[in-house]
Structure 1
Amino acid sequence: MGKQHLHKGWNEIKTNDSWAIFKIMGEFVNGFEKMSRIGPCVSIFGSARTQAGDKYYDLAQKIAYKIVNHGYGVITGGGPGIMEAGNKGAHLGGGTSVGLNIDLPFEQHDNPYIDSDKNLNFDYFFVRKVMFVKYAQGFVVMPGGFGTMDELFEAITLIQTKKIDKFPIILVGSEFWEGLFEWVRTTLMEAHGNISPQDMDLVKIVDTEDEVLEILDSFYRESNLSPNF
Protein backbone atom coordinates (compact mmCIF):
# COMPACT_ATOMS: atom_id res chain seq x y z
CA MET A 1 0.00 0.00 0.00
CA GLY A 2 1.46 3.35 -1.03
CA LYS A 3 1.88 6.23 1.36
CA GLN A 4 -0.86 8.17 -0.39
CA HIS A 5 -3.39 5.60 0.92
CA LEU A 6 -2.26 5.63 4.54
CA HIS A 7 -3.62 9.04 5.53
CA LYS A 8 -6.95 10.31 4.27
CA GLY A 9 -7.65 14.01 4.15
CA TRP A 10 -10.60 15.40 6.07
CA ASN A 11 -12.51 16.27 2.88
CA GLU A 12 -12.09 12.69 1.61
CA ILE A 13 -13.35 11.30 4.91
CA LYS A 14 -16.44 13.53 4.79
CA THR A 15 -17.18 12.55 1.18
CA ASN A 16 -16.82 8.83 1.87
CA ASP A 17 -19.01 9.08 4.97
CA SER A 18 -21.76 10.83 3.02
CA TRP A 19 -21.88 8.12 0.36
CA ALA A 20 -21.73 5.39 3.03
CA ILE A 21 -25.16 6.50 4.25
CA PHE A 22 -26.77 5.00 1.14
CA LYS A 23 -24.98 1.67 1.63
CA ILE A 24 -26.05 1.58 5.28
CA MET A 25 -29.66 2.35 4.31
CA GLY A 26 -29.53 -0.42 1.72
CA GLU A 27 -28.36 -2.96 4.30
CA PHE A 28 -31.15 -1.97 6.69
CA VAL A 29 -33.85 -2.13 4.00
CA ASN A 30 -32.67 -5.50 2.69
CA GLY A 31 -32.38 -6.87 6.22
CA PHE A 32 -35.81 -5.64 7.32
CA GLU A 33 -37.51 -7.00 4.19
CA LYS A 34 -35.99 -10.47 4.50
CA MET A 35 -36.07 -10.85 8.27
CA SER A 36 -39.68 -9.72 8.62
CA ARG A 37 -40.75 -12.85 6.74
CA ILE A 38 -38.89 -15.49 8.76
CA GLY A 39 -41.14 -15.81 11.81
CA PRO A 40 -40.07 -16.06 15.47
CA CYS A 41 -36.48 -17.13 16.02
CA VAL A 42 -33.85 -17.61 18.71
CA SER A 43 -30.38 -16.16 18.12
CA ILE A 44 -27.42 -18.42 18.92
CA PHE A 45 -24.03 -16.79 19.52
CA GLY A 46 -20.58 -18.24 20.11
CA SER A 47 -17.05 -18.54 18.85
CA ALA A 48 -16.24 -18.92 15.16
CA ARG A 49 -13.13 -20.84 16.25
CA THR A 50 -14.91 -23.74 17.96
CA GLN A 51 -14.20 -26.92 16.01
CA ALA A 52 -16.58 -29.73 15.10
CA GLY A 53 -16.26 -32.39 17.78
CA ASP A 54 -15.79 -29.85 20.59
CA LYS A 55 -18.34 -30.37 23.35
CA TYR A 56 -19.78 -26.90 22.86
CA TYR A 57 -20.12 -27.40 19.09
CA ASP A 58 -22.05 -30.60 19.74
CA LEU A 59 -24.16 -28.94 22.42
CA ALA A 60 -25.00 -25.96 20.20
CA GLN A 61 -26.14 -28.35 17.49
CA LYS A 62 -28.37 -30.24 19.94
CA ILE A 63 -29.82 -26.99 21.29
CA ALA A 64 -30.65 -25.72 17.80
CA TYR A 65 -32.25 -29.04 16.87
CA LYS A 66 -34.53 -28.85 19.90
CA ILE A 67 -35.28 -25.17 19.36
CA VAL A 68 -36.72 -25.76 15.89
CA ASN A 69 -38.72 -28.70 17.18
CA HIS A 70 -40.33 -26.36 19.71
CA GLY A 71 -41.59 -23.98 17.04
CA TYR A 72 -38.76 -21.44 16.82
CA GLY A 73 -36.30 -20.76 14.03
CA VAL A 74 -32.58 -20.25 14.58
CA ILE A 75 -30.51 -17.18 13.72
CA THR A 76 -26.70 -17.28 13.82
CA GLY A 77 -23.88 -15.13 12.53
CA GLY A 78 -23.71 -17.43 9.52
CA GLY A 79 -20.06 -18.40 9.86
CA PRO A 80 -18.10 -21.41 11.14
CA GLY A 81 -17.75 -22.78 14.66
CA ILE A 82 -20.71 -22.37 17.00
CA MET A 83 -22.59 -20.56 14.24
CA GLU A 84 -22.22 -23.55 11.94
CA ALA A 85 -23.33 -25.87 14.74
CA GLY A 86 -26.47 -23.79 15.32
CA ASN A 87 -27.41 -23.72 11.65
CA LYS A 88 -26.63 -27.42 11.31
CA GLY A 89 -28.91 -28.36 14.20
CA ALA A 90 -31.72 -26.24 12.77
CA HIS A 91 -31.20 -27.72 9.31
CA LEU A 92 -31.22 -31.31 10.60
CA GLY A 93 -34.35 -30.52 12.62
CA GLY A 94 -36.15 -29.29 9.50
CA GLY A 95 -36.60 -25.78 10.88
CA THR A 96 -35.78 -22.24 9.83
CA SER A 97 -32.01 -21.68 9.63
CA VAL A 98 -30.92 -18.06 9.19
CA GLY A 99 -27.37 -16.74 8.73
CA LEU A 100 -26.37 -13.10 9.20
CA ASN A 101 -22.86 -13.10 7.84
CA ILE A 102 -20.24 -10.37 7.82
CA ASP A 103 -17.07 -10.00 5.80
CA LEU A 104 -14.05 -10.50 8.08
CA PRO A 105 -10.38 -10.90 7.10
CA PHE A 106 -9.79 -14.28 8.74
CA GLU A 107 -12.24 -16.75 10.20
CA GLN A 108 -15.62 -15.77 8.75
CA HIS A 109 -17.21 -17.61 5.80
CA ASP A 110 -20.73 -18.85 5.10
CA ASN A 111 -21.51 -22.27 6.51
CA PRO A 112 -23.46 -24.74 4.33
CA TYR A 113 -26.44 -25.21 6.67
CA ILE A 114 -28.20 -21.88 6.11
CA ASP A 115 -31.48 -21.81 4.19
CA SER A 116 -30.67 -20.53 0.70
CA ASP A 117 -33.19 -17.69 0.92
CA LYS A 118 -32.20 -16.72 4.48
CA ASN A 119 -28.51 -16.00 4.05
CA LEU A 120 -27.82 -12.28 4.52
CA ASN A 121 -24.43 -10.60 4.19
CA PHE A 122 -23.44 -7.36 5.91
CA ASP A 123 -20.55 -4.92 5.78
CA TYR A 124 -21.54 -3.11 8.97
CA PHE A 125 -21.50 -4.77 12.39
CA PHE A 126 -24.08 -2.36 13.81
CA VAL A 127 -26.64 -3.12 11.08
CA ARG A 128 -26.14 -6.84 11.61
CA LYS A 129 -26.58 -6.47 15.38
CA VAL A 130 -29.91 -4.70 14.89
CA MET A 131 -31.15 -7.74 12.95
CA PHE A 132 -30.04 -10.12 15.72
CA VAL A 133 -31.96 -8.20 18.36
CA LYS A 134 -35.01 -7.01 16.42
CA TYR A 135 -35.99 -10.43 15.10
CA ALA A 136 -35.04 -12.71 18.02
CA GLN A 137 -37.36 -13.97 20.75
CA GLY A 138 -34.42 -15.19 22.81
CA PHE A 139 -30.60 -15.33 22.96
CA VAL A 140 -28.59 -18.49 23.53
CA VAL A 141 -24.96 -17.59 24.16
CA MET A 142 -22.29 -20.26 23.91
CA PRO A 143 -18.62 -19.71 24.87
CA GLY A 144 -16.92 -17.22 22.59
CA GLY A 145 -14.54 -14.29 22.28
CA PHE A 146 -14.82 -10.53 22.00
CA GLY A 147 -17.58 -10.64 19.36
CA THR A 148 -19.72 -12.91 21.53
CA MET A 149 -19.18 -10.66 24.56
CA ASP A 150 -20.12 -7.62 22.49
CA GLU A 151 -23.39 -9.20 21.37
CA LEU A 152 -24.19 -10.48 24.87
CA PHE A 153 -23.66 -7.19 26.70
CA GLU A 154 -25.47 -5.19 24.02
CA ALA A 155 -28.55 -7.40 24.52
CA ILE A 156 -28.30 -7.03 28.31
CA THR A 157 -27.92 -3.25 28.02
CA LEU A 158 -30.90 -2.85 25.68
CA ILE A 159 -33.13 -4.85 28.02
CA GLN A 160 -31.74 -3.14 31.15
CA THR A 161 -32.47 0.31 29.69
CA LYS A 162 -35.87 -0.81 28.35
CA LYS A 163 -34.96 0.01 24.76
CA ILE A 164 -36.29 -3.41 23.77
CA ASP A 165 -38.74 -5.79 25.41
CA LYS A 166 -37.37 -8.35 27.83
CA PHE A 167 -36.59 -11.77 26.38
CA PRO A 168 -34.55 -14.73 27.69
CA ILE A 169 -30.75 -14.47 27.62
CA ILE A 170 -29.37 -17.94 28.28
CA LEU A 171 -25.66 -18.56 28.78
CA VAL A 172 -24.60 -22.14 28.12
CA GLY A 173 -21.56 -23.55 29.93
CA SER A 174 -21.31 -22.75 33.64
CA GLU A 175 -17.57 -23.47 33.74
CA PHE A 176 -17.07 -20.78 31.09
CA TRP A 177 -19.51 -18.11 32.31
CA GLU A 178 -19.65 -18.30 36.11
CA GLY A 179 -16.29 -16.61 36.69
CA LEU A 180 -17.29 -13.61 34.56
CA PHE A 181 -20.66 -13.18 36.24
CA GLU A 182 -19.20 -13.67 39.70
CA TRP A 183 -17.00 -10.67 38.87
CA VAL A 184 -20.07 -8.79 37.61
CA ARG A 185 -21.84 -9.51 40.90
CA THR A 186 -18.97 -8.78 43.30
CA THR A 187 -17.29 -5.90 41.46
CA LEU A 188 -19.91 -4.13 39.35
CA MET A 189 -22.83 -4.61 41.73
CA GLU A 190 -21.55 -5.05 45.29
CA ALA A 191 -18.28 -3.11 45.30
CA HIS A 192 -19.20 -0.19 43.02
CA GLY A 193 -22.99 -0.19 42.65
CA ASN A 194 -22.73 0.17 38.89
CA ILE A 195 -25.65 -2.21 38.31
CA SER A 196 -28.72 -3.14 40.33
CA PRO A 197 -29.40 -6.55 41.92
CA GLN A 198 -32.30 -7.13 39.55
CA ASP A 199 -29.94 -6.74 36.60
CA MET A 200 -28.37 -10.04 37.58
CA ASP A 201 -31.70 -11.70 36.82
CA LEU A 202 -31.46 -10.75 33.13
CA VAL A 203 -29.27 -13.78 32.38
CA LYS A 204 -29.53 -17.47 33.19
CA ILE A 205 -26.55 -19.85 33.18
CA VAL A 206 -27.23 -23.48 32.21
CA ASP A 207 -25.42 -26.58 30.96
CA THR A 208 -27.90 -28.64 28.96
CA GLU A 209 -30.20 -28.32 25.98
CA ASP A 210 -33.21 -29.27 28.11
CA GLU A 211 -32.55 -26.35 30.47
CA VAL A 212 -32.39 -23.98 27.50
CA LEU A 213 -35.76 -25.14 26.18
CA GLU A 214 -37.38 -25.05 29.63
CA ILE A 215 -36.36 -21.39 30.07
CA LEU A 216 -37.59 -20.43 26.59
CA ASP A 217 -40.89 -22.29 26.92
CA SER A 218 -41.60 -21.14 30.48
CA PHE A 219 -40.90 -17.52 29.55
CA TYR A 220 -43.46 -17.62 26.76
CA ARG A 221 -45.97 -19.54 28.86
CA GLU A 222 -45.74 -16.93 31.61
CA SER A 223 -45.95 -14.12 29.05
CA ASN A 224 -49.05 -15.70 27.45
CA LEU A 225 -47.16 -15.71 24.16
CA SER A 226 -46.37 -18.50 21.75
CA PRO A 227 -43.36 -19.05 19.51
CA ASN A 228 -45.86 -19.39 16.68
CA PHE A 229 -47.40 -15.91 17.08
Structure 2
Amino acid sequence: MTDLAFENKDFLWGDNAGPVRMLSEYLHPKAELTKNGITDTVVVFGSARIPSPEEKAGNPNLNGLTPFVRYYEEAVEFARLMTEWACHWEKEFPGRNLHICTGGGPGIMEAGNRGAKLAGGNSIALNIVLPMEQHVNPYAVPELSFEFHYFFMRKLWFMKHCRGMIAFPGGFGTFDELFETLTLVQTEKKTKIPILLYGTEFWKKVINFPALAEFGLISKEDLQLFSFADTPEEAFSFFQKNIRLELTRKLSTKS
Protein backbone atom coordinates (compact mmCIF):
# COMPACT_ATOMS: atom_id res chain seq x y z
CA MET A 1 0.00 0.00 0.00
CA THR A 2 1.93 3.00 -1.29
CA ASP A 3 -0.82 5.57 -1.95
CA LEU A 4 -0.92 8.71 0.10
CA ALA A 5 -3.97 8.60 2.37
CA PHE A 6 -5.65 11.52 0.60
CA GLU A 7 -5.12 9.81 -2.78
CA ASN A 8 -6.29 6.36 -1.72
CA LYS A 9 -9.78 5.96 -3.20
CA ASP A 10 -10.51 2.75 -1.28
CA PHE A 11 -9.87 4.61 1.96
CA LEU A 12 -11.68 7.79 0.93
CA TRP A 13 -14.82 5.86 -0.03
CA GLY A 14 -14.73 3.66 3.05
CA ASP A 15 -16.60 4.09 6.33
CA ASN A 16 -13.59 5.51 8.17
CA ALA A 17 -13.31 8.49 5.82
CA GLY A 18 -16.96 9.53 6.05
CA PRO A 19 -16.12 12.69 8.05
CA VAL A 20 -13.48 13.60 5.43
CA ARG A 21 -16.04 13.36 2.62
CA MET A 22 -18.56 15.44 4.57
CA LEU A 23 -15.99 18.10 5.36
CA SER A 24 -14.95 18.22 1.70
CA GLU A 25 -18.54 18.94 0.71
CA TYR A 26 -18.44 21.92 3.05
CA LEU A 27 -14.96 23.28 2.34
CA HIS A 28 -14.90 22.97 -1.46
CA PRO A 29 -18.12 24.94 -2.13
CA LYS A 30 -17.08 27.46 0.54
CA ALA A 31 -13.76 28.08 -1.16
CA GLU A 32 -15.25 28.39 -4.65
CA LEU A 33 -18.16 30.61 -3.64
CA THR A 34 -15.79 32.87 -1.73
CA LYS A 35 -13.40 33.02 -4.68
CA ASN A 36 -16.27 34.04 -6.94
CA GLY A 37 -17.51 36.67 -4.49
CA ILE A 38 -20.97 35.15 -3.93
CA THR A 39 -22.82 36.92 -1.10
CA ASP A 40 -26.58 36.43 -1.56
CA THR A 41 -28.90 34.02 -3.36
CA VAL A 42 -32.52 33.39 -4.21
CA VAL A 43 -33.09 29.64 -4.13
CA VAL A 44 -35.41 28.07 -6.71
CA PHE A 45 -36.97 24.72 -5.81
CA GLY A 46 -39.30 22.61 -7.96
CA SER A 47 -39.76 19.28 -9.69
CA ALA A 48 -37.03 17.73 -11.80
CA ARG A 49 -39.78 16.00 -13.79
CA ILE A 50 -41.46 19.09 -15.26
CA PRO A 51 -40.28 19.24 -18.87
CA SER A 52 -39.26 22.21 -20.94
CA PRO A 53 -41.48 22.99 -23.95
CA GLU A 54 -38.76 21.56 -26.21
CA GLU A 55 -38.52 18.34 -24.22
CA LYS A 56 -42.29 17.98 -24.06
CA ALA A 57 -42.66 18.45 -27.83
CA GLY A 58 -40.17 15.69 -28.53
CA ASN A 59 -41.51 13.10 -26.09
CA PRO A 60 -45.18 12.00 -26.24
CA ASN A 61 -44.65 10.00 -23.04
CA LEU A 62 -44.67 13.32 -21.20
CA ASN A 63 -48.21 14.24 -22.23
CA GLY A 64 -49.42 13.74 -18.67
CA LEU A 65 -47.22 16.63 -17.56
CA THR A 66 -48.54 19.06 -20.18
CA PRO A 67 -50.37 21.26 -17.62
CA PHE A 68 -47.08 21.74 -15.76
CA VAL A 69 -44.99 22.92 -18.71
CA ARG A 70 -46.10 26.48 -18.05
CA TYR A 71 -44.34 26.35 -14.68
CA TYR A 72 -41.06 25.68 -16.46
CA GLU A 73 -41.61 28.70 -18.71
CA GLU A 74 -42.64 30.89 -15.80
CA ALA A 75 -39.64 29.79 -13.73
CA VAL A 76 -37.40 30.84 -16.62
CA GLU A 77 -39.04 34.25 -16.73
CA PHE A 78 -38.87 34.68 -12.95
CA ALA A 79 -35.15 33.88 -12.90
CA ARG A 80 -34.57 36.25 -15.80
CA LEU A 81 -36.34 39.10 -14.02
CA MET A 82 -34.46 38.46 -10.77
CA THR A 83 -31.10 38.32 -12.53
CA GLU A 84 -31.70 41.54 -14.44
CA TRP A 85 -32.62 43.25 -11.18
CA ALA A 86 -29.54 41.80 -9.50
CA CYS A 87 -27.32 43.55 -12.04
CA HIS A 88 -28.10 46.83 -10.26
CA TRP A 89 -27.31 45.58 -6.76
CA GLU A 90 -23.68 46.66 -6.65
CA LYS A 91 -24.73 50.31 -6.87
CA GLU A 92 -27.38 50.03 -4.16
CA PHE A 93 -25.60 47.53 -1.91
CA PRO A 94 -21.80 47.84 -2.29
CA GLY A 95 -20.04 44.54 -1.79
CA ARG A 96 -23.25 42.53 -2.18
CA ASN A 97 -24.61 40.59 -5.14
CA LEU A 98 -27.59 38.36 -5.83
CA HIS A 99 -27.60 35.08 -7.77
CA ILE A 100 -30.21 32.49 -8.62
CA CYS A 101 -29.37 29.16 -6.95
CA THR A 102 -30.91 25.85 -8.02
CA GLY A 103 -30.42 22.15 -7.47
CA GLY A 104 -28.58 22.00 -10.79
CA GLY A 105 -30.69 19.28 -12.35
CA PRO A 106 -33.45 19.20 -14.99
CA GLY A 107 -37.00 20.54 -14.80
CA ILE A 108 -37.60 23.61 -12.69
CA MET A 109 -33.94 23.62 -11.65
CA GLU A 110 -32.91 23.89 -15.28
CA ALA A 111 -35.46 26.65 -15.79
CA GLY A 112 -33.89 28.70 -12.99
CA ASN A 113 -30.39 28.44 -14.44
CA ARG A 114 -31.74 29.06 -17.94
CA GLY A 115 -33.50 32.26 -16.94
CA ALA A 116 -30.36 33.61 -15.31
CA LYS A 117 -28.36 32.84 -18.44
CA LEU A 118 -30.94 34.57 -20.65
CA ALA A 119 -30.42 37.70 -18.56
CA GLY A 120 -26.67 37.49 -19.10
CA GLY A 121 -25.92 36.50 -15.51
CA ASN A 122 -24.33 33.58 -13.70
CA SER A 123 -26.22 31.24 -11.40
CA ILE A 124 -25.35 28.56 -8.87
CA ALA A 125 -26.08 24.85 -9.31
CA LEU A 126 -25.97 22.48 -6.33
CA ASN A 127 -26.38 19.08 -7.96
CA ILE A 128 -26.95 15.84 -6.09
CA VAL A 129 -25.66 12.54 -7.50
CA LEU A 130 -28.62 10.17 -7.89
CA PRO A 131 -29.15 6.90 -9.79
CA MET A 132 -31.88 8.50 -11.93
CA GLU A 133 -33.29 11.90 -12.92
CA GLN A 134 -30.47 14.07 -11.69
CA HIS A 135 -27.79 15.40 -14.00
CA VAL A 136 -26.30 18.86 -14.32
CA ASN A 137 -28.34 20.92 -16.78
CA PRO A 138 -26.63 22.72 -19.71
CA TYR A 139 -27.43 26.19 -18.35
CA ALA A 140 -25.42 25.75 -15.15
CA VAL A 141 -22.18 27.74 -14.94
CA PRO A 142 -19.26 25.28 -14.52
CA GLU A 143 -17.33 27.38 -11.99
CA LEU A 144 -20.47 27.71 -9.84
CA SER A 145 -21.65 24.11 -10.17
CA PHE A 146 -21.11 21.54 -7.43
CA GLU A 147 -21.73 17.81 -7.11
CA PHE A 148 -22.94 16.50 -3.74
CA HIS A 149 -23.17 12.99 -2.34
CA TYR A 150 -24.85 14.03 0.93
CA PHE A 151 -28.27 15.67 0.89
CA PHE A 152 -27.67 17.41 4.20
CA MET A 153 -24.51 19.14 2.99
CA ARG A 154 -26.33 20.26 -0.15
CA LYS A 155 -29.13 21.67 2.02
CA LEU A 156 -26.59 23.60 4.10
CA TRP A 157 -25.38 25.38 0.97
CA PHE A 158 -28.91 26.06 -0.20
CA MET A 159 -29.46 28.04 2.99
CA LYS A 160 -26.01 29.52 3.69
CA HIS A 161 -26.38 32.58 1.45
CA CYS A 162 -30.15 32.40 0.94
CA ARG A 163 -32.05 35.70 1.10
CA GLY A 164 -35.24 34.31 -0.41
CA MET A 165 -36.74 30.99 -1.51
CA ILE A 166 -39.37 30.15 -4.12
CA ALA A 167 -40.95 26.70 -4.47
CA PHE A 168 -42.59 25.74 -7.75
CA PRO A 169 -44.75 22.58 -7.94
CA GLY A 170 -42.83 19.44 -7.13
CA GLY A 171 -42.81 16.10 -5.37
CA PHE A 172 -41.03 14.58 -2.38
CA GLY A 173 -37.77 16.45 -2.96
CA THR A 174 -39.46 19.84 -3.28
CA PHE A 175 -41.59 19.17 -0.21
CA ASP A 176 -38.51 18.14 1.74
CA GLU A 177 -36.65 21.32 0.80
CA LEU A 178 -39.65 23.56 1.42
CA PHE A 179 -40.43 22.16 4.86
CA GLU A 180 -36.75 22.16 5.82
CA THR A 181 -36.64 25.88 5.04
CA LEU A 182 -39.90 26.60 6.87
CA THR A 183 -38.67 24.66 9.91
CA LEU A 184 -35.36 26.56 10.01
CA VAL A 185 -37.17 29.90 9.87
CA GLN A 186 -39.90 28.84 12.30
CA THR A 187 -37.33 27.72 14.87
CA GLU A 188 -35.11 30.77 14.21
CA LYS A 189 -32.18 28.61 13.15
CA LYS A 190 -32.33 30.68 9.99
CA THR A 191 -32.91 34.42 9.93
CA LYS A 192 -36.38 35.13 8.54
CA ILE A 193 -36.40 35.25 4.76
CA PRO A 194 -39.20 35.73 2.23
CA ILE A 195 -40.61 32.33 1.20
CA LEU A 196 -42.92 32.06 -1.80
CA LEU A 197 -45.06 29.18 -3.02
CA TYR A 198 -45.57 29.51 -6.76
CA GLY A 199 -48.85 28.14 -8.10
CA THR A 200 -51.56 28.86 -5.54
CA GLU A 201 -53.99 26.23 -6.84
CA PHE A 202 -51.37 23.49 -6.74
CA TRP A 203 -50.08 24.23 -3.25
CA LYS A 204 -53.49 24.71 -1.65
CA LYS A 205 -54.68 21.46 -3.20
CA VAL A 206 -51.77 19.28 -2.11
CA ILE A 207 -51.18 20.78 1.36
CA ASN A 208 -53.85 22.01 3.77
CA PHE A 209 -51.76 24.50 5.71
CA PRO A 210 -54.71 26.05 7.62
CA ALA A 211 -55.65 22.59 8.92
CA LEU A 212 -52.25 22.28 10.59
CA ALA A 213 -52.97 25.50 12.47
CA GLU A 214 -56.54 24.41 13.31
CA PHE A 215 -55.23 21.18 14.81
CA GLY A 216 -52.72 23.19 16.85
CA LEU A 217 -49.76 21.49 15.18
CA ILE A 218 -48.38 24.84 14.05
CA SER A 219 -49.18 28.34 15.25
CA LYS A 220 -51.51 30.58 13.28
CA GLU A 221 -48.58 32.98 13.03
CA ASP A 222 -46.65 30.29 11.14
CA LEU A 223 -49.05 30.76 8.23
CA GLN A 224 -47.42 34.16 7.76
CA LEU A 225 -44.01 32.59 7.09
CA PHE A 226 -44.86 32.17 3.40
CA SER A 227 -46.86 33.77 0.60
CA PHE A 228 -48.30 32.72 -2.75
CA ALA A 229 -47.81 33.96 -6.31
CA ASP A 230 -49.13 32.98 -9.73
CA THR A 231 -47.15 35.02 -12.25
CA PRO A 232 -43.42 35.67 -12.68
CA GLU A 233 -44.05 39.40 -12.32
CA GLU A 234 -45.93 38.91 -9.05
CA ALA A 235 -43.17 36.69 -7.70
CA PHE A 236 -40.47 39.13 -8.79
CA SER A 237 -42.29 42.05 -7.17
CA PHE A 238 -42.60 40.08 -3.93
CA PHE A 239 -38.87 39.43 -3.70
CA GLN A 240 -37.92 42.87 -4.95
CA LYS A 241 -39.83 44.34 -2.03
CA ASN A 242 -38.98 41.88 0.71
CA ILE A 243 -35.33 41.17 -0.06
CA ARG A 244 -34.67 44.89 -0.19
CA LEU A 245 -36.15 45.25 3.30
CA GLU A 246 -34.05 42.34 4.59
CA LEU A 247 -30.84 43.88 3.30
CA THR A 248 -31.69 47.35 4.52
CA ARG A 249 -31.85 45.97 8.05
CA LYS A 250 -28.60 44.07 7.38
CA LEU A 251 -29.99 40.79 8.61
CA SER A 252 -27.68 37.80 8.37
CA THR A 253 -28.15 34.06 8.19
CA LYS A 254 -27.51 31.92 11.22
CA SER A 255 -27.01 28.80 9.15
Task: For residue 176 of structure 1, report the CA deviation from its aligned partner.
Answer: 0.7
The answer for the alignment partner of 1:110 in structure 2 is 136
DSSP-derived class of the 1:111 partner: coil
TM-score by length of 2: 0.78
Residue 217 of structure 1 is aligned with which of 218, 227, 240?
A: 240
Aligned partners of 1:152, 1:51: CA distance in 2, in Å?
Answer: 21
The answer for the alignment partner of 1:79 in structure 2 is 105
The answer for the alignment partner of 2:38 in structure 1 is 38
Aligned partners of 2:41, 2:120: CA distance in 1, in Å?
Answer: 14
Aligned partners of 1:33, 1:224: CA distance in 2, in Å?
Answer: 24
Residue 184 of structure 1 is aligned with which of 209, 214, 232?
A: 209
Aligned partners of 2:20, 2:130: CA distance in 1, in Å?
Answer: 21
Residue 149 of structure 2 is aligned with which of 123, 126, 129?
A: 123
The answer for the alignment partner of 1:140 in structure 2 is 166
Q: After superposition, what is the alpha-carbon deviation per residue over 1:108-152, rounded to whole angstroms, capped at 9, x for unaligned?
A: 111111112101111000000000011211101100110000000
Task: For residue 215 of structure 1, report the CA deviation from its aligned partner.
Answer: 1.3
The answer for the alignment partner of 1:11 in structure 2 is none
List alignment gaps of at least 5 residues for structure 2: 1-12, 54-68, 87-97
Change (3 A) 1:224 1:115: closer
DSSP-derived class of the 1:70 partner: helix
TM-score by length of 1: 0.87
Change (3 A) 1:226 1:118: farther
**Counterpart code for 2:46:** G
Aligned residues: 211
Partners of 1:35 and 1:135 within 8 A in 2: no
The answer for the alignment partner of 1:174 in structure 2 is 200
**Counterpart code for 1:152:** L
The answer for the alignment partner of 2:50 in structure 1 is 50
Percentage identity across aligned positions? Answer: 41
Task: For residue 224 of structure 1, report the CA deviation from its aligned partner.
Answer: 5.1
Q: CA RMSD in A?
A: 1.9
Partners of 2:164 and 2:193 within 8 A in 1: yes
DSSP-derived class of the 1:170 partner: strand
Partners of 1:99 and 1:120 within 8 A in 2: yes
